[in-house]
Amino acid sequence: MSAEFDISQTLDVKGASCPMPVVKTKQAIDDLAEGEVLEVLATDSGSMSDLDGWATGTDGVELLEQVEDGDVYKHYVEKTA
């Protein structure tokens, strides 16, 4: 399944477990400019709930989409501010 937005950067945290997907996402987002989209590739099944929770509780980010693609959980996060 392909996403309909331009991906500025991809963060590969496959193999890493909690809290790494969230913490690494936060660090990667810090390096992006407003409006850019980060793709996060994870194998941690908890990342579906955790990244959602993080994006909801954090200002300046929006979770655009989450896709389960085989063993990989793909998350698309936009830096909104």
Partner 1 sequence: MSTDTPASSADSEPLTEAELQARIEELEDKVATLETDTADDTKKMTIVATQGTFDMAYPPLILASTAAAFGWDVVVFHTFWGLDILHEEKSKDLKLSAVGNPSMPMPNALAALPGMDSMATKMMEKRISDNGTATIEELIELSIDQGVELQACQMTIELMEYDEDDFYDDVTVGVGAATALQHMAESDIQLLV
Binding mask 29-48 for partner 1 (x = CB under 8 A): --------------xx----
d(CA 78, CA 45): 21
Q: Which residues of 28-50 are buried (b: 16+ CB within 10 A; e: fewer)?
A: bbeebeeebbbbbbbbbeebbeb
Q: Exactly one of 8, 36, 41, 58 binds partner 1 (CB under 8 A); which one?
A: 58
Least distance to partner 1, CB of residue 50, Å: 8
Least distance to partner 1, CB of residue 2, Å: 27
17 is a site residue for partner 1 (CB under 8 A) = yes
- Active-site residue flag, 18: yes
